[in-house]
Amino acid sequence: MALYLLAYVCTALVFLVIDAVWLTAMGDRFYKPLMGDMVLPGFRMGPAIAFYLLYVAGMVIFAVSPALANGKWTTALIFGAAFGFFAYATYDLTNQATLRNWPLVLTLVDLTWGTVLTASASTLGFLAARALHKAFFG
């Protein structure tokens, strides 16, 4: 149980740091110009926290846990990429299908970002959790 809790914490930290850098760098440059008045001046903390808690749980269940079971970082990478692709595709393609001003380039960039981010965070979360667990629990 300690290994999976450690995996959750490590994966969450990696995901949050990388995503915060991306959103800080690209929010005003990429997202706001394309999304216009759909973007809030700030963000709503409650839904953001709920997303990160749930999404990281999905990463651990669908990508990190299988990697912990077989000991291969490539499992976290591949399953993380797949989870990110399908999750971000659900969001982006639904928005493109239902919102008046959702450009194709936004879907393509965000979908690519979600895939790379989730694959990277799943892999790094797995590697960190495995190393820390070994260091503390043998």
Chain mean pLDDT for the chain:
96
Q: Say what angle helices 2-26 and 104-137 make with each other, to 10 degrees.
A: 150
* pTM of the model as a whole: 0.95
Exposed / middle / buried, residue 104 (Cβ in 10 Å: 0-12, 13-18, 19+): exposed
Whether residue 6 contacts residue 126, with contact meaning beta carbons closer than 8 Å, is answered with no
Q: What is the rounded radius of gyration, in angstroms, for the C-alpha atoms of the chain?
A: 16
Domain boundary assignment for the chain:
1-36+44-137
Whether residue 114 contacts residue 80, with contact meaning beta carbons closer than 8 Å, is answered with no
Average pLDDT over residues 32-55: 93
What pLDDT is recorded for position 11?
98
Longest CA span, the chain: 55
**10 has pLDDT over 90:** yes
pLDDT band at 103 (very low <50, low <70, confident <90, very high): very high
